[in-house]
Amino acid sequence: MTLRRAFRFAVLGAVFLILGFATAIITPLALALVYPPVKSFRFQAIAYIDEPFQLGTETFTGNTWEFDEQRRVGMTSLAVMTMPQTERPNFPLIASPDLSPEIDWFMFRSWLPHRVPETGSNKWIRANLYGWPFRSLWYGTIANTGFPQTPPWTRHGYGAISAARIGISDRFLPSRVLWHGLIANTVVFSVAIGVLTIGLHNYLRWALRRKGLCPHCGYDLSATQGGKPCPECGRPSRQSETIVGTVAADSRRDV
C-alpha cells in the first residue's frame, strides 16, 4: 500500500516534470517568434588588445573588443565587436565593465567559435538568448563588416533555425542550450504546474462537497449518512482536503 502510494507520487511528479520541461522548451521558442532580433546596438569598449589574447578556446590578436547588451522580457541580446587596432573607436575604454552572468558566459566560457578575424575588417558577433524567467536557449549570428544595423545577420548562424518555412522571414529559433537556465526553468514550471493542478483539483472537490455532492462522481449525497461511502461510485464521500489524502484513499480502495 505504501509502495503503491509512493509509485503514484512518483508518476505524478514525473508528469509534472515532463510538462514543466515541455513548457521550458516551448517558452523560448515562442519568445523567439514574438521578438524580432535586436539590430541596433550601442556599444562599450572593453579591451584594446595588443598581445595575443586568449578568449574561450580561441586566441585573438590585434583587435579592439566592444560589447553591448540589450534586454527585453524573456530575451537578452549580446553583441561583441572586434575591429583592427588601426581603427580605434573614439569613445572611452571601460576598464571594469559591469559584466552580467550572460556576458561572462558569452565572453569567457563556451562560445566564440571563430578564428582570428580577418585583418582589416570588423566582425560582429551577436548572441540572442531566450527564455523566461531564465535564459535557456540561444543562437548566434556573425557579420564580417560594418555597424550592427548594417550587417546581414542572417549569415553565419550558430544554432539559428530560420522560421521562414512557417512564413516569418526575419525570425530565428534558438537551438543551443543554456543548461543552467533550462534546468532552472523546468523546476519553476514543474512546481507551478503541480501547484496549480493540485490546487484546482482540490478546489473542485471542495466545491462539490460543499454542494453536498460526491467529490468523485458528483452524485447527490444528501440522502447518504455522513462518513458512509458514496452509493453511486463506492468511494469515500469525506476525505482530507489534500491530494495526499486522495491518493491514500484511492490506494486503500484499490487493495
Q: Any contact of residue 232 with Zn ion (CB under 5 A)? A: yes
The one among 137, 230, 243, 248 contacting Zn ion by CB under 5 A = 230
d(CA 53, CA 91): 22
Helices (H), the chain: 2-34, 101-108, 179-210, 243-254
**123, 126, 171, 216: which one binds Zn ion (CB under 5 A):** 216
Closest to Zn ion by CB, 63 or 237: 237
**What is the pairing mode between strands 160-162 and 123-130?**
unpaired
CB of 217 to Zn ion, least distance (A): 3
- Kindly tell me which of 232 and 250 has the beta carbon lying closer to Zn ion: 232
CB atoms within 10 A of CB 41: 21
| Least spacing, CB of residue 139 vs Zn ion, in Å | 53
Shortest CB 230 distance to Zn ion, Å: 3
Is there a contact between 201 and 243 (Cβ–Cβ < 8 Å)? yes
Q: Does 233 bind Zn ion (CB under 5 A)?
A: yes
If the CB atoms of residues 129 and 248 are measured against Zn ion, the closer one turns out to be 248
- C-alpha 186/C-alpha 58 separation (Å) is 32
Instruction: State which residue, 185 or 237, has the beta carbon closest to Zn ion.
Output: 237
Nearer to Zn ion, 221 or 243 (CB): 221
Q: How many residues bind Zn ion (CB under 5 A)?
A: 7
> How near is the Cβ of 198 to Zn ion at its closest, in Å?
20
Compare residues 224 and 251 and give the one whose CB is closer to Zn ion: 224
State yes or no: residue 204 binds Zn ion (CB under 5 A). no
Angstrom distances, CA of residue 251 to CA of 33, 93, 209: 45, 68, 21
Q: Which of 78, 214, 243, 248 binds Zn ion (CB under 5 A)?
A: 214
* Closest distance to Zn ion from the beta carbon of 208 (Å): 9
Q: Single out the residue of 111, 100, 103, 89 nearest to residue 45, CA to CA.
A: 89
* Contacting residue, 32, 174, 219, 239, with Zn ion by CB under 5 A: 219
**Among 8-16, 53-61, 189-197, 212-220, the segment contacting Zn ion (CB under 5 A):** 212-220
Buried b or exposed e, range 69-99, using 16+ CB within 10 angstroms: beeeebbbbbbbbbbbeeeeeeeeeeeeeee
Closest approach, Cβ 237 to Zn ion, in A, equals 7
Q: Which of 169, 217, 240, 252 binds Zn ion (CB under 5 A)?
A: 217
Can you tell me the distance from the alpha carbon of 143 to that of 114, in angstroms, rounded to the nearest whole number?
11
Tell me if residue 211 falls in helix, strand or coil: coil
Task: Kindly list the distances between the CA atom of residue 233 and the CA atoms of 3, 18, 141, 241, in Å, as whole numbers in the listed order.
Answer: 25, 31, 61, 19
Nearer to Zn ion, 143 or 214 (CB): 214
Rule CB under 5 A: which residues touch Zn ion?
214, 216-217, 219, 230, 232-233
